[in-house]
Homo-oligomer: A and B are copies of this chain.
Amino acid sequence: MANRHDNDLVATSAEELERCARNAVAAFDGWSAMAPRDRARALVSAADAMRAHEDELVAIAIDETGLAEARLRGELTRTAVQLRLFADVVVDGDYLDVRIDPADPDFALGPRPDLRRMLVPLGPVLNFSGSNFPFAFSVAGGDTASALAAGCSVIVKAHPGHPELSRRTGELVAGALADAGAPAHTLQLIFGQDQGVAMLRDERIRAGSFTGSIRAGRLLADVAAARAKPIPFYGELGSVNPQFVTRAKLAHDLDTLCSGFVASVSSSAGQFCTKPGFLFVSDARVVAQAIREAAEGVPEHRMLNPRSGEGYRRRRDTVLASPGVEVITAGIVRVDGDAQTWVTPTIVSVDSATLESAGSRLLDESFGPLAIVVQYGDEGELADLAARLFPGNLTGGVHALADEATPELAALIDQLHRSSGRVLFNGWPTGVAVTPAMQHGGPWPATTADVATSVGTAAIGRFLRGVSYQNVPPHLLPLAVRDDNPWGVPQRVAPAGESTSWGERAS
């Protein structure tokens, strides 16, 4: 029954694509004009709809993705709460970044007009769903929630790995939005790979977002950049999330560390963009023993679909055949009668010189429960190793005693902040909090645009642009930038005055 809902069976027709783009433009007009409270209520109503159909949706998801029920229920919760968080963001209005410079005849640069700037939604947005988060990075996931919150209409290119779940989620969420007063077609779905590319080329689409492989993400980023009118494209691609353990930490917390590592690598069969792919330790032999013990209890887990399984098996073979690689635990890799792959973690070790000379053969991401323990010599090497081997990641982690304060550790953390979007201390990168301070995005190839985040409330910034109004009378201004501020949004008002605080004024 693999690939039962084959993508080709439901690919969107050319006529439907055209209608869909037209609808997205019309929906944008109405949706972007809705008052914040009304838009927020529609997002909450979408969350309610998912909650109300949780059992039904989770059952479809289990069937289509092989992910565990508890994980999927947690993910649905996250997705619903995320919609509510963005409802809060919409009502709060701080995301509009309203700036008001009152007219000032004595401004340092000469008379200043009345200027009022706010962020406005870009227009219709196209989101490409990911395979590994059938709720949180799919039809009603973070990209959709943040784009809708910004005031953009959204077209989702459904992932072929969970087409029925996509269809049903889309139906429920689009229905809930409409019931709450959103324009028809505020959220729409399309199916098919070529159809997604065609839509990304459509001039009416004003931004794209994506979660998936480096290959597909790069292809789409290139399409977006090559348009007659280029658009922003936010792709979250590949990440190996290296972890660095100090000598002292290893001596102190060996077992906790290794069991935490194995749990993070194995979780959902390692199909997370934040899976820790590398663990740097001062004693690989000691770690190997603890890892073997921790890995013993890990149950078999089905991979997302036959294709994910195939890719993982190929990648695993490459790693195992690489010179200098020693197996810590080979793990199970079993293909069932439906061509689905079942796995337990494969964990190997190498020394840092071997890793470096192997290049992409070992350094590339393995999408699945494979991780590499790396033996280092001296803590003083770690920052340089991190810089050379891991130029772009979503996350990077250090594991140290709480009061360790060596220059080597400080240098390592400094390096990790240059090459990753999130730096963790004594934690595992899987499990991404949806909060204001989350950053999910890092230097290439982690993302195509590391100025942005795809998780957390700051994700809304991806779908906005600035507009200034100069000397426009109140009755023609948007409400958010008016002095009477009926929505009560935060407004930053520039002080009047003849100089900067450094004392210079116009000559």
Determine whether A230 belongs to the interface, using a CB cutoff of 8 Å to chain B.
yes
A410-B476, A458-B99, A502-B84 given; A115·B433 CB < 8 A: yes
Closest Cβ of chain B: how far from A296's Cβ, in Å? Answer: 27
Binds B, one of A124-132, A174-182, A334-342, A463-471: A463-471
Check A465 against B438 for contact (C-beta < 8 Å).
no
Check A466 against B494 for contact (C-beta < 8 Å).
no
Determine whether A78 belongs to the interface, using a CB cutoff of 8 Å to chain B.
yes
- A residues 408-442 in Cβ contact with B at 8 Å: 409-410, 413, 417-418, 420-427, 433-439, 441
Binds B, one of A100-108, A162-170, A319-327, A367-375: A100-108
**A311–B444 alpha-carbon span in the complex (Å):** 40
**A451–B466 alpha-carbon span in the complex (Å):** 6
Point out the residues of chain B lying under 8 angstroms from A456, CB to CB.
117
Check B109 against A434 for contact (C-beta < 8 Å).
yes
Check A465 against B436 for contact (C-beta < 8 Å).
no
Point out the residues of chain B lying under 8 angstroms from A437, CB to CB.
99-101, 115-117, 468, 494
Which of these, B109, B413, B422, B424, contacts A81 with CB under 8 Å?
A: B109
Contact with B along A220-249 (1 / 0, CB 8 A): 011001100110100000000000000000
Quick one: copies of this chain in the complex?
2
Determine whether A357 belongs to the interface, using a CB cutoff of 8 Å to chain B.
no
Which of these, B78, B410, B425, contacts A470 with CB under 8 Å?
A: B425
Check B435 against A77 for contact (C-beta < 8 Å).
no
Chain A interface residues (CB < 8 Å from chain B): 40, 44, 47, 51, 73-74, 77-78, 80-82, 84-85, 87-88, 91, 97, 99-101, 107-110, 112-113, 115-117, 120, 122-123, 221-222, 225-226, 229-230, 232, 391-392, 402-403, 405, 409-410, 413, 417-418, 420-427, 433-439, 441, 443-445, 448-453, 456, 458, 462, 464-473, 475-476, 478, 492, 494, 500-502, 504-507
Q: List 9 A-B contacts (CB under 8 A).
A: A40-B502, A81-B109, A84-B500, A88-B502, A115-B433, A117-B439, A222-B226, A402-B473, A421-B468
